[in-house]
Amino acid sequence: MPATFRSSSMAERDFCAACGTPLSYRKVDGTAIELLTGAFDRPDYVVPTYQIGVESKLAWISHLHNLPGKTTSEAAGSAKAGSIVSYQHPDHNT
């Protein structure tokens, strides 16, 4: 069950009460709930349909895909990455 924080006079933010992961943003008198897609176990299933706050977009975001990348195993080492134990609650059990 999400918990709610009234972050301003016009908005509330929902987060996981157990781990603190941000989940959504919504206007108090609004009809839409904006989800933070990266919070899901399978964010590839939650395809965005629009962006909010584009006036604050960081200039480097549009070039992110051009940067060299590493997998988690490459960055942490395969032995260390393989020993990680997640304490996050999976989406499918909520």
What one-character-per-residue DSSP string does 62-94 give? GGGGGS----HHHHH-HHHHHT----SPPGGG-
Read off φ and ψ for residue 13, nearest 5 degrees.
-120, 130
Residue 28 near residue 13 (C-beta atoms within 8 A): no
Cα 84 from chain centre:
20
Residue spans per domain, the chain: 2-85
Is the pLDDT at 91 greater than 50, yes or no?
Answer: yes
Look up tokens 């992961």; give the residue: 21
pLDDT of 32-79, one tens digit each? 899 988 888 889 998 888 888 899 999 998 899 999 999 888 887 777
Query: Is the four-CA dihedral 40, 42, 46, 48 of positive or negative sign?
Result: positive
| pTM of the predicted model as reported, rounded to 2 decimal places | 0.64
Please state, rounded to an integer, the average pLDDT across all residues of the chain.
86
